[in-house]
Structure 1
Amino acid sequence: MIAELNRMVDVIEERLEEEIDVPSIATSLGTTEYHLRRMFSSLAGMPLSEYVRRRRMTVAAAGITAGDHMLGVAVRFGYGSEEAFGRAFRAVHGVSPADVRRNGGPLLSQPKIRFRLTVEGSNTMKTRIVERPAFRLVGHAARVPLVHRGVNPHIQAHIAAFPAAEHQRLKGLGDTEPTGLLQVSDDVDPDYAEGSELTYLHGVALDAATAAPEDLDVIEVPEGSWAVFRTSGPYPEALQETWAATASDWFPSNPWRLRPGPSIVAVLERADDFSTATTELWMPVERQ
Structure 2
Amino acid sequence: MIKQLNAVVQAVEGQLGDPATDELDVATLAHRLATTEYHLRRMFSALAGMPLSEYARRRRMTAAAHDLLTGDDDLLTVAVRHGYGSVEAFTRAFRGVHGATPSVVRRDGGPLRAQGPIRFHLTVEGSTVMEARLTALPAFRVVGRAARVPLVHLGENPHIRDLVASVPPEEHARLKAMSEGEPAGILAVSTDLDPDRREGTELTYLHGVVTSRDPGDFDVIEVPALTWAVFRSSGPYPRALQETWAATATEWFPANPWLLVQGPEIVAVLERAEDFSTATTEIWLPVEPDRS
1:150·1:237 contact (CA, 8 Å) conserved in 2? no
CA distance in 2, matches of 1:123, 1:7: 27
What is the identity, as a one-letter code, of the residue corresponding to 1:271?
A
Q: Counterpart in 2 of 1:29?
A: 33
Moved more, 231-240 or 189-198: 189-198
2:178·2:213 contact (CA, 8 Å) conserved in 1? no
1:212·1:218 contact (CA, 8 Å) conserved in 2? no
Q: Cα RMSD (Å) of the superposition? A: 1.3
CA distance in 1, matches of 2:119, 2:168: 49
2:189·2:205 contact (CA, 8 Å) conserved in 1? yes
What is the identity, as a one-letter code, of the residue corresponding to 2:151?
L
2:145·2:167 contact (CA, 8 Å) conserved in 1? no
Q: Counterpart in 2 of 1:240?
A: 242
**Equivalent residue for 1:124, pick from 122, 126, 129:** 129
SS in structure 2 at match of 1:131:
strand
**Equivalent residue for 2:171, pick from 166, 173, 197:** 166
Q: Which runs of 5+ in 1 are unaligned?
A: none
SS in structure 1 at match of 2:172:
helix
CA distance in 1, matches of 2:149, 2:7: 34
Superimposed CA distance per residue, residues 147-196 of structure 1 (whole angstroms, 9 cap, x where no aligned partner): 33443222121111111110111111122101121111111111112333
Tell me how many residue pairs correspond in the alignment. 285
Moved more, 259-268 or 70-79: 70-79
1:4·1:29 contact (CA, 8 Å) conserved in 2? yes
After superposition, residues 160-239 of structure 1 pair within 5 angstroms as: 160-206=165-211, 210-239=212-241
CA distance in 2, matches of 1:104, 1:183: 48
After superposition, residues 74-89 of structure 1 pair within 5 angstroms as: 74-89=79-94
Mapped pair 1:70 → 2:72: no
Q: Counterpart in 1 of 2:50?
A: 46
What is the identity, as a one-letter code, of the residue corresponding to 2:110?
G
CA pair 212-75 structure 1, distance change in 2 beyond 3 A: farther
CA distance in 2, matches of 1:237, 1:151: 12
CA distance in 2, matches of 1:112, 1:243: 26
Over the matched positions of the two proteins, sequence identity in percent amounts to: 64
**Equivalent residue for 2:259, pick from 251, 257, 275:** 257
Superimposed CA distance per residue, residues 89-140 of structure 1 (whole angstroms, 9 cap, x where no aligned partner): 1111112111122222222111011111111012210000011111111111
CA distance in 2, matches of 1:73, 1:212: 61
1:184·1:263 contact (CA, 8 Å) conserved in 2? yes
CA distance in 2, matches of 1:221, 1:12: 35
1:151·1:236 contact (CA, 8 Å) conserved in 2? no
Give the TM-score normalised by structure 2: 0.94
CA distance in 2, matches of 1:130, 1:74: 50
